[in-house]
A = this chain, B = another copy of it.
C-alpha cells in the first residue's frame, strides 16, 4: 500500500543554518512553514505530524511557528485555506476554454480529464483533505474543518457545472435536472479515483476519469426525457 512516488520527508541535512543574516524575512518563512506543514501533514496526517518534525524540516526555530500561527490547529487551518485557494485556482484554470461543440461524452471527458490533471497536481492537498473528511483527527481545528466542508460543497457545485455543460445540448432544464441528479455520483467517482490513485494500484487517473465520464453520460442519457 506504500506508494513509492509519495514524497519522502526531506532529511535533516541542514542541522545548523544559524547564520540567518536578516530577521526581516518574515513572509518567506511563513510560506516555508506552510509548505512544510502541507507536505508533512498530507503524509503523516495532522495528529501524526509534530511541530518538532516541522522544525527539523524547515530549519526554522520553533518559535517562528508560533509567531506566524496561533497554534498547531491554526497552522492546519492556514494550510487548508491556502490549499483550497490553490485547488480552486487550478480548477478554474483547467476549465478555461471548454470545447464548444462535440457530443456530451466528448465534453464530459474533456472536463473530467482536465479535472484528473488537477487531481494529480494537487495530490498533497487532496490527500490531507480526505484524511480530514474521514477522521476527526483535527477536531481542535474547527476552522480547518469548515474549509473542508467548503471545498466539498464547491466541488459538488463544480461537478454539477461540468455535467450541465456536457448536457447543454439537451436544453437548459434537462441539463439542470441531469446535473442535479448525477452530481453526487460524480463527486463519489472523483473521490474514489483519488483514493485508488493513492492506494498505488498503478492505474492512471485518466482512465478512471474516462470511465467516470462515460458512466455519467450513460446514466445521464437514461435520465433524459426523450429516452
A contacts, CB < 8 Å to B: 1-2, 6, 42-48, 127, 130-137, 139, 145, 148-149, 152, 156, 182, 184-185, 187-193, 195-196, 198-199, 201, 203, 207-208, 211-212, 214-216, 218-219, 222
Contact (Cβ within 8 A) A136 B208: no
* Main secondary structure on A side of the interface with B: helix
**In the complex, which residues of chain B have a beta carbon less than 8 angstroms from the beta carbon of A148?**
1
Name A47's contact: one of B45, B182, B190, B196 (CB within 8 Å): B45
Complex Cα distance, B137 from A216, in Å, reads 34
**In the complex, which residues of chain B have a beta carbon less than 8 angstroms from the beta carbon of A184?**
196, 201, 203, 207-208
Contact (Cβ within 8 A) B195 A212: no
**In the complex, which residues of chain B have a beta carbon less than 8 angstroms from the beta carbon of A136?**
2, 6, 43-45, 48
Complex Cα distance, B43 from A196, in Å, reads 22
Q: Residue of B at shortest CB range from A195?
A: B191
**In the complex, which residues of chain B have a beta carbon less than 8 angstroms from the beta carbon of A131?**
45, 131, 134-135
Contact (Cβ within 8 A) B199 A133: yes
Copy total for this chain: 4
Known contacts A192-B187, A196-B184, A137 near B45 by CB under 8 Å: yes
**In the complex, which residues of chain B have a beta carbon less than 8 angstroms from the beta carbon of A187?**
192, 196, 201
**In the complex, which residues of chain B have a beta carbon less than 8 angstroms from the beta carbon of A193?**
188, 192
CB distance from A75 to the nearest CB of B (A): 16
Complex Cα distance, B151 from A149, in Å, reads 29
**In the complex, which residues of chain B have a beta carbon less than 8 angstroms from the beta carbon of A208?**
184-185, 188
**In the complex, which residues of chain B have a beta carbon less than 8 angstroms from the beta carbon of A215?**
185, 215-216, 218-219
Q: Residue of B at shortest CB range from A184?
A: B203
CB distance from A142 to the nearest CB of B (A): 9
Q: Residue of B at shortest CB range from A144?
A: B1
